[in-house]
Amino acid sequence: MNTDPILPGATVGILGSGQLGRMLALQARDMGYGVRVFSPEKDTPCGQIADTEIVADYRDTDAVRAFARTVSVATYEFENVPSETVSAIESVGVPVRPGAEVLYVAQNRLREKNFFRSLGIATPPFARIASAADVGPAIRVTGLPAVLKTAGAGYDGKGQRTVRTDREVQAAFAELGGVECILEGFIDFAWEGSVVAARGISGDFAHYGLVRNDHANHILDVTTAPAPESSPELVRDALDATRAITDTLGFVGLLGVEFFVTSQGTLIANEMAPRPHNSGHWTMNGAVTSQFEQQLRAVCGLPLGATQMPFPGSAIANLLGDLWDDGVPDFAGMLADFPDAKLYLYGKSEARPGRKMGHINVAAGSPHAALERVLAARDRLR
């Protein structure tokens, strides 16, 4: 593998065209890189920022190869990219970071959970369901209640159902289309957390600690950094698990790992995402190096940036399309009343309930102070 750094002036290719790609593209521009984005959509959040927006199917290998010949490295803002897309890019000698092995694991919840267990990382009890006949044996493994999820794709609560009876499992499996699923035992957790970390080409590792995530309707609502309830031992365990994942996969890029934290203070791994993570948006103002700059540094083979927090606490609040129900939110009023709040909007033309339209960041003297301030700023928008 060529480990020479890809320097400013080169062009970075981004697979996927949503808000994560947009914020990566903005960072790339700040550091002097060109940006080309490839996805099946047009006039996208990332495409609005990129030099060129390539609109084609991920399985159009001719279009993918043509795209690859115009970039020096490719990375993701969306992990559900077909393996043939990665192979087509690599076939013309362009590195894709993280690599195909990472995608293979991350794209399937069954493979992901088995991988975690192979590293000694605790997971919920789980079982595969590929037909109605698998339901009974799966329930005996996981117990009820449980969560039925499609093995592939799915995010922000899509492709999953909470089930409490055998009949509900059967009905949910049919409702999800009878595709391969994973049944996961329900975890009575105290809170949810995540780690965002980067690994460079030389194996160097940088992280942003353990943060707390609170969800609403299966969508991340707010993140508090650092996690107020975390102990040094809990943080160490979360970081050790994250580093084991990156080192074992030979990971190059940015990774988000989500955990359940039990009332006994133990960690149970939920899932991982080989790209920027919503819970890492606080780093845009709350860390020396944002997660987007860190992703760019890692995939371009540059030294990783410092991750210290200039403020003791930071928090983010997501802005969903519901805020637009009564018209455009009062952004000017919020910014006037909360001059310390940082507003990020994603350039999406249509506000829909549950759709992530932007977020607010606040840094403050403690995690709790940041959380209270960011929630008050979001409430002001109403």
Q: Residue ranges per domain, the chain?
A: 11-96, 125-185, 189-380
State the pTM of this model: 0.96
pLDDT number for residue 3? 85
Domain 189-380 has CATH 3.40.228.10: no
Q: For domain 125-185, say whether CATH 3.30.1490.20 is its number.
A: yes
In tens digits, what is the pLDDT along the chain, a chain of 382 residues? 678 999 999 999 999 999 999 999 999 999 999 999 999 999 999 999 999 999 999 999 999 999 999 999 999 999 899 989 999 999 999 999 999 999 999 999 999 999 999 999 999 999 999 999 999 999 999 999 999 999 987 666 578 999 999 999 999 999 999 999 999 999 989 999 999 999 999 999 999 999 999 999 989 999 999 999 999 999 999 999 999 999 999 999 999 999 999 999 999 999 999 999 999 999 999 999 999 999 999 999 999 999 999 999 999 999 999 999 999 999 999 999 999 999 999 999 999 999 999 999 999 999 999 999 999 999 999 8
11-96 is a CATH 3.90.400.10 domain:
no
For every residue of the chain, which 3-state class applies, written as one string? CCCCCCCECEEEEEECCCHHHHHHHHHHHHCCCEEEEEECCCCCCCCCCCCEEEECCCCCHHHHHHHHCCCCEEEECCCCCCHHHHHHHHCCCCCECCCHHHHHHHCEHHHHHHHHHHCCCCCCCEEEECCHHHHHHHHHHHCCCEEEEECECCCCCCCEEEECCHHHHHHHHHHCCCCCEEEEECCCEEEEEEEEEEECCCCCEEEEEEEEEEEECCEEEEEEECCCCCCHHHHHHHHHHHHHHHHHHCCCEEEEEEEEEECCCCEEEEEEECCCCHHHCCHHHHCCCCHHHHHHHHHCCCCCCCCCCCCCEEEEEEEEHHHHCCCCCCHHHHHHHCCCCEEEECCCCCCCCCCEEEEEEEEECCHHHHHHHHHHHHHHCC
